[in-house]
Amino acid sequence: MSRLVTINQAAQIIAEGGVVAYPTEAVFGLGCDPRHPDAVQRLLAIKQRPVEKGLILIAASYGQLLPYVDDTALTPQRRRAVLSRWPGPTTWVMPAKASVPDWVTGQFESLAVRVTEHPVAADLCCAFGAPLVSTSANLTGEPPARTADEVLQALGDRIDGVVIGDVGGRESPSTILDALTEQVLRS
């Protein structure tokens, strides 16, 4: 059975290839190290999510995302538009660097990324020292978990820890926009 863990314990679990749940702006997220293929495959299996769909990465700062996104594909105006909404509940789909593995991007040449404003999620990214995979903590098609107890009920025996904390006040998941066009992909 999974256990409640601190931010530092969760960062250690992630560094060792584990999968943890943590609070975000609206729901609990399920996360792991995007550089660790076995961890990502395990997370996808837990969620019953196909790899082709790709994943969102969250970070504590834009700098943490630079190893993953092709920042040179953005005009200065588009970069300002992206940064003007961060930290916050906006996820941007940005061109991915060619080095980003397809277990993160799925079938796309782009990557969904967010600089989180949730203090626990941001502190976890800081403690880990890199962005995290962030997908809702639930089985595909089921309602996302909004409390640690809901995470433990739905996924407790499948994950390695649940970070102590509460979700933010948002009712809905983050808005997703295309960074090159500002087209709304999910409102």
Domain ranges for the chain: 4-186
> What percentage of the chain carries pLDDT values higher than 90?
90
The pLDDT of residue 102: 95
Integer Cα distance of 162 and 155 in angstroms:
10
Is the pLDDT score of 1 beyond 60?
no
Integer Cα distance of 29 and 124 in angstroms:
12
Mean of the pLDDT values across residues 179-186?
Answer: 92
* Sign of the alpha-carbon dihedral angle for 54, 51, 1, 154: positive
Average pLDDT, the chain: 95
The pLDDT of residue 137: 94
Taking the model in full, what pTM does it have?
0.95
Q: What tokens does 92 get?
A: 């941007």
pLDDT-derived band at 2 (thresholds 50, 70, 90) equals low
**pLDDT tens digits, 50-101:** 999 999 999 999 999 999 999 999 999 999 999 999 999 999 999 999 999 9
Which overall architecture, per CATH, does domain 4-186 show? Alpha-Beta Complex (3.90)
pLDDT-derived band at 169 (thresholds 50, 70, 90) equals confident
